[in-house]
């Protein structure tokens, strides 16, 4: 039988189960086996790998993961797809599909339950465009035993994730990703390999979890408030943005200036010019100040 990830087989499955796409769930199914095989190869999936997939759809990527990995744990929010996946993946006994919203699921417990005997745990997924960032940040901030992520996403988001300082795409998301992982773009994916085709092209990003952080902070919540605060208004200086970020900021302009002076950072700079290490300096100075977030 042909792989799920072909136009003919996909149409056959959709017709058999009378399935209709829900735009609100960002459902775009892969219909190109070559793209999927390249994903499997680059993600280095083997018989010792446990894979977490988000949004398996009808199983086009899941099938190839099942063939190559030790186990696959897939989270699917759409109840209508559970019987479809039971059908399409019936030949594979190493796949577990859970009907849960990934943003609400107890992922650490699920990993312990289903993937604890795997030597390596990897996330491989065609992420729903509308919640790509929350999904990734939930995974990363939970400090899960995941060695790397190999994820397909909207091109614009992928470019933000792997962006460097002083680039148009660089922002607080770029900094958060750099804090937790080493990120790089590995492949561009045209919209034509999906059914239905989305309105934008996609990009595949590899994220390797850092064994040691580039910087160490003891309060990640405060650290990321400082990074996000620098981008409240991209065209404004960090001095102006932090007047909004801090309680009574306009009245405490001199204290905010002193914060930047202590950090050795010019207050007239913009957020996009600051590296992860620069924000660590600001964070260290903030911890010694009396400033409070608004």
Q: Which residues are annotated as a binding site?
A: 28, 30, 55, 76, 101, 126
How confident is the model over 20-52, as pLDDT tens digits?
Answer: 998 888 889 999 999 999 999 999 999 999 999
E-state strands within the chain: 29-30, 49-54, 71-75, 95-98, 120-126, 148-154, 181-189, 194-195, 202-209
- The whole-chain average pLDDT of the chain stands at 96
Q: Do 220-287 and 7-209 have the same topology in CATH?
A: no
Which fold does the domain 220-287 belong to in CATH? Helicase, Ruva Protein; domain 3 (1.10.8)
pTM of the prediction? 0.93
Parse the chain into domains and list their residue ranges. Answer: 7-209, 220-287
Q: Which residues are annotated as a binding site for S-adenosyl-L-methionine?
A: 28, 30, 55, 76, 101, 126
Please report which confidence band the pLDDT of residue 56 belongs to, taking 50, 70 and 90 as the band edges.
very high
How confident is the model over 81-136, as pLDDT tens digits?
Answer: 999 999 999 999 999 999 999 999 999 999 999 999 999 999 999 998 889 999 99
Q: Does domain 7-209 have CATH number 3.40.50.150?
A: yes
User: Any bridge partners for residue 182, and if so which?
Assistant: 208
């Amino acid at each position: 039988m042909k792989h799920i990830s072909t136009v003919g087989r996909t149409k056959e499955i959709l017709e058999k189960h009378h399935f209709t796409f829900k735009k609100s769930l960002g459902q775009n199914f892969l219909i190109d086996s070559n793209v999927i095989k390249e994903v499997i190869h680059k993600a280095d999936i083997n018989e010792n790998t446990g894979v977490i997939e988000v949004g398996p759809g009808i199983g086009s990527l899941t099938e190839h993961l099942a063939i190559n990995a030790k186990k696959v744990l897939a989270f699917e929010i759409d109840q209508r797809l559970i019987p479809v996946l039971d059908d399409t993946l019936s030949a594979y006994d190493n796949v577990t599909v859970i009907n849960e919203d990934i943003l609400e699921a107890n992922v650490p417990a699920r990993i312990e339950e289903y993937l604890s005997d795997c030597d390596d745990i990897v996330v491989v997924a065609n992420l729903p465009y509308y919640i790509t960032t929350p999904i990734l940040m939930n995974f990363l901030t939970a400090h899960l035993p995941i060695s790397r992520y190999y994820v397909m996403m909207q091109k614009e988001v992928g470019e933000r994730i792997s962006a460097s300082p002083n680039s148009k795409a660089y922002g607080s998301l770029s900094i958060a990703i750099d804090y937790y992982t080493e990120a790089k773009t590995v492949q561009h994916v045209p919209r034509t390999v999906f059914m239905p085709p989305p309105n934008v092209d996609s990009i595949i990003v590899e994220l390797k979890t850092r064994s040691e952080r580039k910087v160490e902070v003891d309060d990640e919540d405060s650290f990321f408030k400082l990074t996000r605060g620098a981008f409240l208004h991209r065209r404004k200086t960090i001095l102006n943005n932090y007047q909004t970020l801090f309680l009574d900021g306009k009245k405490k302009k001199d204290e905010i200036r002193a914060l930047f002076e202590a950090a050795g950072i010019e207050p007239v700079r913009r957020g996009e010019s600051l590296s992860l290490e620069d924000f660590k300096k600001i964070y260290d100075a903030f911890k010694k100040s009396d400033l409070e977030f608004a």
